Structure 1
């Protein structure tokens, strides 16, 4: 079994413990999903996947869990996380198509990440506009986060 098949199996086991919105499929991402990730990111005003596609693709290839939510044949959301598998998981990116928000897709992606590594805490940076979503999902605000960008 290759790495992709192992990841898909892990996701299948985790999803057994998650409530999934009707008509939505959650699965491990594949490189064929990158164009959809770029499209969703661009629609949100996130520039890195379009302006720095090679770096963004490498980030997706180097991260796990990396999941997409699909409705019919279209990717309608994604999450890219990084974890030590025991204590901490950092949610690097979470995005749901603006027309699909409110359907539980973002919550499902986060919960699936947590079920993959149930002993981890989930840490993230949130834009002001998404703070109420994360609070509704049970996250609390920490005021000591920092960031320095080099590019």
Structure 2
């Protein structure tokens, strides 16, 4: 999908939701990666720092890949993978800890959902995030499974 088509899809999705005051949501760009790494590190997610080349490649090849911006600073992000019809998998979602509870995370998820309204949103969540996802309309199906990369 070309960049213009993505921008058009984001604009259409944004018309379906109300953004928190002062927040803009847009496609990520490589200049945002340092902020994504910083926010990931705060969450204890080591891959974007320890495997920065792989993490950057993951962002480059993912869609939807969006950032929330306030006063020209990235304050949240979401990275997903989709087939465009049935499933959008949310791989990463984070919001600056000082701005949580203001609707930024929900807005990022809502944009992802309105990009592909026939697709369900699937994700794995840490225990401390389950209340947030439940408030956003998600339900717990199972604990999920993961096998890490081979070194």
Between the two proteins, the alignment pairs up a number of residues equal to: 150
Query: Once the two structures are superposed, what CA deviation does each residue of 1:35-82 show, in whole Å capped at 9, x if it has no partner?
Result: 110111111111111100000000001110000000001000000000
**Cα offset, 1:144, TM superposition:** 5.4
Give the whole-Å Cα distance in 1 for the aligned partners of 2:16 and 2:130.
25
Alignment-derived partner of residue 94 in structure 2: 95
Structure-2 residue corresponding to 1:83: 82
- RMSD over equivalenced CA pairs, Å: 1.2
Moved over 6 A (4+): none
Distance 1:49 1:115 in 2: 27
Aligned pairs for 1:2-151 (under 5 A) are 3-143=2-142, 145-151=144-150
Q: How far has the Cα of 1:7 moved from its partner? A: 1.4
Compared CA separation, residues 144 and 75, structure 1 to 2 (3 A): closer
Q: 2:140 & 2:76 partners in 1: Cα distance?
A: 24
Structure 2 unmatched ranges of 5 or more:
none
User: What secondary structure, in the 3-state scheme, does the structure 1 residue paired with 2:107 have?
Assistant: helix
CA distance in 2, matches of 1:52, 1:5: 30
Unpaired segments ≥5 residues, structure 1: none
Aligned counterparts of 1:108 and 1:99: Cα–Cα separation in 2: 16
TM-score by length of 2: 0.96
- Give the C-alpha shift of residue 12 in structure 1: 0.9
Q: Distance in 2 between matches of 1:65 and 1:13?
A: 14
Q: Deviations over 1:91-133 (max 9, x none)?
A: 0000000001000000000000000000000000000000000
Q: Distance in 1 between matches of 2:63 and 2:17?
A: 18
